[in-house]
Structure 1
Amino acid sequence: MSTCTIRNSSNVGEELDRISNLPEELIQNILVRLPSIDAAARTSVLSRRWRHFWTKLPSLSFQWDFEKPGAIIAALAAYSAPTLNRLAFSAVHVLELSTVAPWLEFASRRVAGNLTLNFSAALYQRQRLELPVCEKATSINLHVKHLRLPPAGSFTALVALTIVGARIQGGDFEAVCQPRCPRLRRLAVRSATLVEATDVSVRSNSLEWLVFIVQGVGRLEVAAPKLRYFRAAAKAAGDNVPQAEPGVSDVNITSPVLEDVAWYGEFDPRRHRFTEAGHRLRKLMVMDMTTAALMRRFYIVDELVLSFGISPGIKGYKTFLNATSMIAKCEVLEVQVTTRRHAFPSAVLHLLRKSVGVAKLLIRLPRMGNKSCMEGCPCSLPDSCNTDKIQLDSLEEVEILGFRGEFNQMKFINLLLDCHAPILKKVYVRIPKDVKSINRTKNKKIRSIIDGHPEIDVEFKLWS
């Protein structure tokens, strides 16, 4: 124990216990930063005043140890505060459901904030974890393999629910609907699988944010008048689609205020419908070549992200040209295209020819190398890199990420700067941190790019 001696005018020694006299708020801040509740409990030996501090912490986190099966139960029994802001349980070993049950019972009564269950290993013999009703919990994160949501009861305070990697019944999603979750605003279900293929319905007057990446769903019906943010994966039509492929076959989203959409997989307007939504979005993310058709449904967006790969071969590139024959009108365009052996400059210049209204352009450069595409591919034709017909009348700023000084990367930047962009004033070229240096020859070529376009402020800078 740390002590010091204070002497008064009578030279009488008096010990002062610095640890015991720390402010209560500071002690609590120290304890909540310790890696585990075991470490917090061991601080009881430091001072009598510290002995019961850990039993009133607003946040508890437990890592189950099969060698000390009773430790968590003992800690929960000693906890003295009526509620806590965060409770987390995690385990890397197989668990018996009987071990977890008292933890969940404690959580249902005491959690008034976040509850996190991270059981990456399955419960013993695939036992299904049934989440209890937690009326005071505001957010719940579930990383479990076999899950059942409660068939009755209300989560009256729940605002956010995340489910990852679970096998779940389609009917269980009724638990997150009105009126059982009247305040739910965020729902994310990722890498999940339905126990039996079925339709899923989500109806909520409060839901604003939905991510739904689930296998085994026939039809997804969402009725959420406040829904603004939506992420989903769709399966391609046809009998040859593997059952394990994530996504839903049919989707109907009813929301008049939708503004941010990301779609993975094929978009088919006959099977995937956005009822009541307009044709304009704040942000649209096209995450697959077969998703490009979504730009015909939402053809005016503030920010457009094109992030997909082009299949190799002449057929693959022609598919790309056909899929992107129409690009949504946008103010900000982000391009992250994997071209494989196709010419990256040709692909990006094609997208720019089809773009309208772009004020800011962000391009993520791939490693290009020196390998060329097969003879006769449209990406290698001389006209594919012709910039004469590219009109970027609204372009003001360009940001290029992933520049490594490769010859083809420099060639692409020169082609881009040769496009007709009368009000372009700033080009940022970011160099990744793992690029330690650029040799003298490449530095000269960089300088020639800058000097060759004096009307544009071109900046090459290490990305921090």
Structure 2
Amino acid sequence: MESRLGRRRRQGAPRGPHRRCRTRRCGGGDGDGVDRISGLNDDLLIQILVCLRCAAAAARTSVLSRRWRGLWRHLPELSFRGIASDALQYALAQVAIPKLSLLHIYSPHYIYPEFSVEGVASLLRAASRLDPIDLNIVAGAGWTDEPMAVEVPSFARAVSIRLHVGNLHLKPPAQGGDFPVLERLSIAAGRFDIDPLISGCPCLRVLEVHLDEDLNPITIHSATIEELRLTCHLWLHLRGVDIVAPMLKKFTLGWSVHKDFSMSLLAPKVENLWWNCCVGFYSEAVVIDASGMWTLEKLKLETQESGFVLSLDVGRPHSATHTRNLQEMFQLPNISVLELCVERRGHVYGAIALDILRICNATQKLKLVIDRSMLWMTDDDEACPPDCLCNQPHNWRSQNISLSLEEVEIVNFKGSGHEVDFLKLLFRCAPLTYVTLKLASKISPSSRGCKEIYKIFKANPAAECHVYRKRGKEIIYA
């Protein structure tokens, strides 16, 4: 009967280009030129090949001697990089062990030749046959008008799966297929049936999804997920998210959102948030105030040592608008720091700033940047008539609301009458302890508005107040 070692000696490396090598005598430490490594047992040689972290490199050791030939087929961990579809299928068919610990395939379509849809499907089936614990496949088809459907087979032993397959529609396994021990899933595809697939993952803790096409609201209901990451290309517009995840602790959302976007988030344990969302676009601006004057252009939320930090970019509409309530669109936590950038273009911003402070009434620190684009551009203000909608409601200056603000910083401050009124309102409604004003260019520290500000500061000695010129030099106003 032919021995296993004899059979192995006749097995070659995966097909591919070969080059002839001159055999060299080993220059061992004792100088006897004896190949001592090849005399090790199979298990030790396999451990050496695993350390190469590359199946192709392991296969090329077959040229050293017959002793190494075909050993790569018995590696528990296989990594392939930049291998063409047919060659990859051939190599996987030669694997001699029934179950792998790790299978990594890296051949992205934007670097290496594209796989066909059937090629990706066949690759997934081959991977399922090898049943790895750790599966990582970055290989897919290029862009098509409509993502082609590919079924994801079940992986009974997989603890971690990463599938980045280009513009394909990933569908869950046929009825009965699931992922009983899967803890981490990362998907990048044209389309992905999220809810049916994760319902077959009873141990899932981490879910990462990156999609390449516009979506209806994403629904994720999971009793086990602790970390969730949702991202897409900037030109795509998400219509909403519906998340019920009692164990969720970290939630990342990086997406352009549709004018009809809404969020339902039930995650009582969430403590780490990072959202970066562009809102609408020029033809569908989203208005967030009753007057129709101000549009929300970008929202960013992140967790820092001070708590939740919210950054909002608010500007003037360029086209047809859709009125929305900020609280309807985004389910915001208690905000510690608010960074508000307003492109006012000559209009009054006090009313809209006050509206946002009402929504974020737990805010302790406000950074207000006025006309940020004007920090490096020339002024291009619009005409603001006396009865302009930006000044509504007309009684915003005299309102009394309870704010938690302790620190305020205003950048590009010009000292206009409405800006002075807004600062008076903040001193009246909040227990301010630290105020910083950074003057706009061409604003003289001796202007009427600045002199009015100095009087306000002197009338509130409990607050530490500072005024700076455009280039950062502090103004001594006492």
* TM-score (normalised: structure 1): 0.58
Alpha-carbon spacing, 1:83–1:6, altered in 2? closer, same or farther (3 Å): closer
What's the offset of the Cα at 1:391? 7.1
Q: Secondary structure, in 3 states, of the residue corresponding to 2:88?
A: helix
**Partner of residue 108, structure 1:** 128
What's the offset of the Cα at 1:76? 0.8
Aligned equivalents of 1:85 and 1:130: distance in 2? 21
**Partner of residue 399, structure 2:** none
Of 90-99 and 319-328, more deviation after overlay is shown by 319-328
Quick one: which of 438, 447, 450 aligns to 1:382? 450
What's the offset of the Cα at 1:140? 2.4
1:96-145 deviations in Å (ceiling 9; x for gaps): 22222331112113221132234362379853333222222222223321
Aligned equivalents of 1:187 and 1:267: distance in 2? 33
Aligned equivalents of 1:338 and 1:18: distance in 2? 73
Aligned equivalents of 2:136 and 2:61: distance in 1? 25
- Is 1:205–2:197 an aligned residue pair? no
1:286-344 deviations in Å (ceiling 9; x for gaps): 3533699669953355xx584x7543623486587446546675799999999221599
Note if contact 1:186-1:207 (Cα within 8 Å) is conserved in structure 2. yes
**Partner of residue 255, structure 1:** 267
Q: Secondary structure, in 3 states, of the residue corresponding to 2:126?
A: helix
Q: Secondary structure, in 3 states, of the residue corresponding to 1:201?
A: strand
**Partner of residue 3, structure 1:** 26
Q: Secondary structure, in 3 states, of the residue corresponding to 2:102?
A: strand
Note if contact 2:178-2:201 (Cα within 8 Å) is conserved in structure 1. yes
Q: Which runs of 5+ in 2 are unaligned?
A: 1-23, 280-285, 289-303, 315-323, 377-407, 414-418
**Partner of residue 77, structure 1:** 93
**Partner of residue 313, structure 1:** 345
Aligned equivalents of 1:6 and 1:187: distance in 2? 51
Q: Secondary structure, in 3 states, of the residue corresponding to 2:208?
A: strand
Q: One-letter code of the match for 1:4? A: G
Note if contact 1:341-1:372 (Cα within 8 Å) is conserved in structure 2. no
Q: Secondary structure, in 3 states, of the residue corresponding to 2:52?
A: helix
What's the offset of the Cα at 1:166? 1.8
**Partner of residue 447, structure 1:** none
Q: One-letter code of the match for 1:150? A: P
Alpha-carbon spacing, 1:334–1:104, altered in 2? closer, same or farther (3 Å): farther
Higher gyration radius (CA): 2
Q: One-letter code of the match for 1:73? A: Q
- Is 1:340–2:340 an aligned residue pair? no
**Partner of residue 139, structure 1:** 160
What's the offset of the Cα at 1:70? 2.8
Note if contact 1:218-1:249 (Cα within 8 Å) is conserved in structure 2. yes
What's the offset of the Cα at 1:30? 4.2
Q: One-letter code of the match for 2:190? A: A
1:199-241 deviations in Å (ceiling 9; x for gaps): 4422111011223346565553221111122233687xxxxxx
What value does the CA root-mean-square deviation take over the aligned residues?
5.1
Aligned equivalents of 1:24 and 1:267: distance in 2? 67
Aligned equivalents of 1:337 and 1:78: distance in 2? 65
Q: One-letter code of the match for 1:146? A: L
- Is 1:86–2:83 an aligned residue pair? no
Q: Secondary structure, in 3 states, of the residue corresponding to 1:133?
A: coil
Q: Give the alignment of 1:345-364 within 5 angstroms.
A: 346-347=410-411
Alpha-carbon spacing, 1:338–1:120, altered in 2? closer, same or farther (3 Å): farther
What's the offset of the Cα at 1:18? 5.4
Alpha-carbon spacing, 1:199–1:29, altered in 2? closer, same or farther (3 Å): closer
Aligned equivalents of 1:139 and 1:335: distance in 2? 44
**Partner of residue 57, structure 2:** 39
1:352-402 deviations in Å (ceiling 9; x for gaps): 98999999xxxxxxxx9x9948x99xxx95379879469789xxxxxxxxx
Aligned equivalents of 1:138 and 1:86: distance in 2? 12
- Is 1:15–2:15 an aligned residue pair? no
Quick one: which of 206, 215, 232 aligns to 2:253? 232
Note if contact 2:179-2:201 (Cα within 8 Å) is conserved in structure 1. yes
**Partner of residue 155, structure 1:** 179
Alpha-carbon spacing, 1:224–1:124, altered in 2? closer, same or farther (3 Å): closer
Q: Secondary structure, in 3 states, of the residue corresponding to 1:70?
A: helix
Note if contact 1:262-1:287 (Cα within 8 Å) is conserved in structure 2. no
Quick one: which of 147, 166, 178 aligns to 2:190? 166
Paired residues, what number?
Answer: 350
Alpha-carbon spacing, 1:347–1:91, altered in 2? closer, same or farther (3 Å): same
Identity %, equivalent residues: 20
Alpha-carbon spacing, 1:21–1:249, altered in 2? closer, same or farther (3 Å): same
Note if contact 2:106-2:137 (Cα within 8 Å) is conserved in structure 1. yes
Q: Secondary structure, in 3 states, of the residue corresponding to 1:161?
A: strand
Quick one: which of 97, 101, 106 aligns to 2:117? 97
Aligned equivalents of 2:128 and 2:267: distance in 1? 33
Aligned equivalents of 2:367 and 2:29: distance in 1? 66
Note if contact 1:62-1:72 (Cα within 8 Å) is conserved in structure 2. no
**Partner of residue 362, structure 1:** none
Q: One-letter code of the match for 1:54? A: W
Note if contact 2:149-2:171 (Cα within 8 Å) is conserved in structure 1. no
Of 50-59 and 147-156, more deviation after overlay is shown by 50-59
**Partner of residue 271, structure 1:** none
Alpha-carbon spacing, 1:223–1:105, altered in 2? closer, same or farther (3 Å): same
Alpha-carbon spacing, 1:125–1:198, altered in 2? closer, same or farther (3 Å): closer
Aligned equivalents of 1:213 and 1:337: distance in 2? 30
Q: One-letter code of the match for 1:105? A: R
Aligned equivalents of 2:139 and 2:361: distance in 1? 41
Note if contact 2:308-2:335 (Cα within 8 Å) is conserved in structure 1. no
Q: One-letter code of the match for 2:26? A: T
Q: Give the alignment of 1:274-289 within 5 angstroms.
A: 283-289=307-313
Note if contact 1:137-1:158 (Cα within 8 Å) is conserved in structure 2. yes
